[in-house]
Amino acid sequence: MSGFSYPHTCPLIDKQIGRAKGDLTTYARDLLRSYNIEISGQEMRLAGEELFSALSDIFEKTRKTNEDMRTEAHKQIVALEAENMELRALLYCQRMAS
């Protein structure tokens, strides 16, 4: 084994952040239209960016949690690999002593 073997998820998280930003803008536009409130495309983009900005910390905390889990998994794998090597050495020594 050579560490945590799982693809990095930051590109996927980044993709979903971009998707959420677009979805929030569309949702805000549709909501305003449902109340017969018309605003310009530029105003809509700004409103969507403000809404996304208010929520972006959620995504960054998710990314940080993901990084922390990856780091911890790597530490555990390294510790298990070391333990495995120690046990193999112990078995080898016991076989040689027999």
Give the pLDDT of residue 8.
Answer: 79
Percent of the chain predicted with pLDDT > 90? 34
Whole-prediction pTM: 0.62
Q: Could you tell me the end-to-end alpha-carbon distance of the chain, in angstroms, rounded to an integer? A: 30
- Say what the pLDDT of residue 2 is: 62
| Spatial contact of 21 and 48, defined as CB atoms under 8 Å apart | yes
DSSP letter at 1 equals: -
Mean pLDDT of 55-69: 89
pLDDT of the residue at 90: 95
Domain definitions of the chain by residue range: 10-97
Q: Which long-range contacts (CB under 8 A, 24 or more apart) does 12-19 make?
A: 13/59, 13/62, 13/63, 13/66, 16/59, 17/56, 17/59
pLDDT of 38 strictly over 90: no
Max Cα–Cα distance, the chain, nearest Å: 88
